[in-house]
C-alpha cells in the first residue's frame, strides 16, 4: 500500500517523495514531537538545515520513529559560513552529530553566497561526500541558472535537486525549464507563501470549492502538477495530514493557469545573487 506521497526518481537513481515536511521553527521537544506526528501520518521527506538549529529535534524524531530509517529521506543544508572544500567536510560531520544519524539522504548548499565566492569548491566537496557514504544525494538551494551552469561546468555533476522559493506568487517558470533541461528536480520552499493572504485568493478559493478540499491543498496540488516538490511546514497534526492529502484529486489546466497568473515576484529578501545567508 502506498504510504504518504508517491515518489519520483532523482538523476542519481534514488527515489524522492513528491511532498515533504518543512521544519523551520520546529525546535526542541515540541518540534521533535511535531516532526514525529508528521512521520506517523505518512511524511517520508523531512527538510532541515544546520542554520535552523533543529537538526537535533529532527534527528530525534527520526530515531524514535517506528518507520525504518531507510524509508525516510532526511535533508539538511550547509550554511554560507562553511563554504569551501575542507569546511564542507567538517560541516557534514557537525550536521550528522546534531542529527545523531550516520548519513543524510539529501545534502544541499543552502545559498550560493556569491560574495563568499566558494560555492564551486563546496560543490566539489559535495561530489566527494556522495562517494563517502555520509550523503546519499547532493543538491543545492537558491541557485540561479548561472550558478547551476558554473557547478556543472566545473564538475560534470548536476545537482539532484534545487530547492527554491516557489509559490503561486512566484512560479519560477524560467528556472523550472532550466531544471528540466539539466535533469534537476525543483523543490519549493515556502510553498504556501508562509500562509500570508495567498489562501484567500479567488482562483484558489474557487478551486477548493470545486474539488471539495481546503485552499492549502489546492496550492500544494498546484505544485505537484507543475512537477515541483513542496515542503510545507506545519507544527499542527491536522494541518500536516491535510497538506499530505493532495494525491486524490486533480486540478484542471484552467485552474492551474489561473493560480499561476497570481504571479507577482519574490516575496522576501531572497535574491540569490545578493542574499547573505551565513
Ligand X SMILES: O=C(O)C(=O)[C@@H](O)[C@H](O)C(=O)CO
Give me the active site residues, please. Answer: 52
125 alpha carbon, distance to own chain's centre: 21
The yes or no reply on residue 161 touching ligand X (CB under 6 A) is no
* Residue 147, contacted partner among ligand X, ligand NDP, none, CB below 5-8 A by kind: none
* Dist. CA 94–CA 276, nearest whole Å: 21
Q: Which long-range contacts (CB under 8 A, 24 or more apart) does 84-93 make?
A: 84/118, 84/121, 84/122, 84/125, 85/121, 85/122, 85/124, 85/125, 86/125, 87/122, 87/125, 88/122, 88/125, 88/126, 88/129, 89/125, 89/128, 89/129, 91/50, 92/129, 92/134, 92/135, 93/134
Q: Is 235 in the site for ligand NDP (CB under 6 A)?
A: yes
Contact 191, 217 (CB under 8 A): no
As measured in angstroms, the least distance from the Cβ of 237 to ligand NDP is 9
Binding status of residue 239 toward ligand NDP by CB under 6 A: yes
- 277 is a site residue for ligand X (CB under 6 A): yes
Residue number closest to ligand NDP, CB atom:
22
What does the alpha-carbon distance between residue 199 and residue 277 come to, in Å, rounded to a whole number? 28
From residue 42 to residue 71, the character string flagging contacts with ligand X as x (rule: CB under 6 A) and all else as - is: -------x----------------------
- Contacts with ligand NDP, 187-206, as mask; x by CB under 6 A: --xxxxxxx---x-------
The reply to whether 143 sits near ligand X by the rule CB under 6 A is no
Residue 47 contacts which entry, ligand NDP, ligand X, none (Cβ below 5-8 A, type-dependent): ligand NDP
Of the CA atoms within 13 Å of residue 167, those in its CB half-sphere come to 25
User: Mind giving me the DSSP string for 84-98?
Assistant: SHHHHHHHHHHHHHH
Report the residue from 231, 244, 246, 258 that binds ligand NDP according to the rule CB under 6 A. 231
Site size with ligand X, rule: CB under 6 A: 4
Q: Which residues inside 112-171 make contact with ligand NDP, applying CB under 6 A?
A: 141-142, 163
Q: Which is nearer to ligand X, 121 or 277 (CB)?
A: 277
> Which residues, numbered 80-119, are part of the site for ligand X (CB under 6 A)?
110
Residues contributing to the site for ligand NDP (CB under 6 A):
22-24, 47, 110, 141-142, 163, 189-195, 199, 214, 216, 231-236, 239, 242-243
Residues contributing to the site for ligand X (CB under 6 A):
24, 49, 110, 277
Amino acid at each position: 500500500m502506498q504510504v504518504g506521497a508517491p515518489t519520483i526518481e532523482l538523476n542519481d537513481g534514488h527515489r524522492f517523495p513528491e511532498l515533504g515536511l518543512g521544519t523551520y521553527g520546529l525546535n526542541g521537544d515540541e518540534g521533535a514531537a511535531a516532526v514525529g506526528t508528521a512521520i506517523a501520518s505518512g511524511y517520508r521527506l523531512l527538510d532541515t538545515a544546520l542554520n535552523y538549529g533543529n537538526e537535533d529535534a529532527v534527528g530525534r524524531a527520526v530515531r524514535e520513529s517506528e518507520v525504518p530509517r531507510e524509508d525516510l529521506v532526511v535533508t539538511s543544508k550547509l550554511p554560507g559560513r562553511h563554504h569551501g572544500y575542507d569546511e564542507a567536510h567538517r560541516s557534514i560531520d557537525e550536521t550528522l552529530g546534531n542529527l545523531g544519524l550516520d548519513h543524510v539522504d539529501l545534502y544541499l548548499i543552502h545559498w550560493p553566497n556569491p560574495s563568499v565566492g566558494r560555492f564551486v569548491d563546496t560543490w566539489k566537496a559535495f561530489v566527494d561526500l556522495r562517494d563517502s557514504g555520509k550523503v546519499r544525494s547532493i543538491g543545492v538551494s537558491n541557485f540561479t541558472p548561472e550558478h547551476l551552469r558554473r557547478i556543472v561546468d566545473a564538475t560534470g555533476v548536476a545537482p539532484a535537486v534545487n530547492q527554491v522559493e516557489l509559490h503561486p506568487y512566484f512560479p519560477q517558470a524560467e528556472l523550472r525549464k532550466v531544471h528540466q533541461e539539466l535533469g534537476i528536480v525543483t523543490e519549493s520552499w515556502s510553498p504556501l507563501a508562509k500562509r500570508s493572504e495567498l489562501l484567500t485568493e479567488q482562483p484558489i478559493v474557487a478551486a477548493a470549492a470545486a474539488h471539495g478540499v481546503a485552499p492549502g491543498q489546492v496550492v500544494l496540488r498546484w505544485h505537484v502538477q507543475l512537477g515541483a516538490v513542496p515542503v510545507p511546514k506545519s507544527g499542527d497534526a491536522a494541518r500536516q495530514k491535510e497538506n499530505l492529502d493532495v494525491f486524490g484529486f486533480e486540478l484542471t489546466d484552467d485552474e492551474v493557469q489561473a493560480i499561476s497568473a497570481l504571479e507577482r515576484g519574490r516575496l522576501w529578501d531572497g535574491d540569490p545573487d545578493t542574499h547573505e545567508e551565513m
